């Protein structure tokens, strides 16, 4: 569910970026695709709101059941006797985050320069 929420958030940002008029020229994508992206940009927020509400409701339900999910989300360890999954290193996660940020920034820069 978290991956779906993050994907919808990314899709919301990208559809807004691609439908915005960055210059006086016509859209690179064409009127049909831009119209479809505008519709998608209007539909995603209610869906995202519903998913966030479901996520928070699940956290509250598990809290009342005695399973502290929020602590497990923060530190990565659940308080249980079950075998814990092997977590990858924080360095790898930081590296992937850095590469993703560089790629996304490069994509946005290229899209801006292509409109001029």
Domain ranges of the chain: 1-79, 87-116
What is the pLDDT, as a whole number, of residue 3? 85
Specify the pTM.
Answer: 0.59
What is the pLDDT, as a whole number, of residue 80? 62
What is the pLDDT, as a whole number, of residue 83? 64
> Positive or negative, the Cα torsion across 78, 79, 84, 89?
positive
83 token code pair: 């075998």
Provide block-wise average pLDDT over 10 residues at a time, the chain (116 residues): 87 82 59 80 92 91 83 71 63 85 86 72
CA-to-CA separations, 114 to 9, 13, 14, 111, in angstroms, rounded: 24, 18, 16, 5
What is the pLDDT, as a whole number, of residue 94? 82
What is the pLDDT, as a whole number, of residue 28? 62
């Amino acid at each position: 569910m978290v991956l779906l929420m993050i994907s919808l958030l990314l899709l919301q940002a990208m559809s807004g970026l691609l439908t915005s008029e960055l210059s006086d020229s016509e859209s690179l994508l064409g009127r049909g695709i831009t119209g479809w992206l505008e519709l998608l940009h209007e539909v995603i927020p209610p869906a995202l709101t519903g998913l966030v509400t479901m996520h928070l409701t699940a956290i509250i339900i598990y809290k009342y059941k005695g399973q502290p999910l929020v602590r497990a989300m923060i530190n990565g360890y659940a308080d249980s006797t079950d075998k814990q999954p092997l977590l990858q290193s924080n360095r790898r996660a930081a590296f992937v985050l850095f590469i993703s940020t560089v790629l996304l920034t490069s994509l946005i820069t290229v899209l801006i320069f292509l409109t001029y």
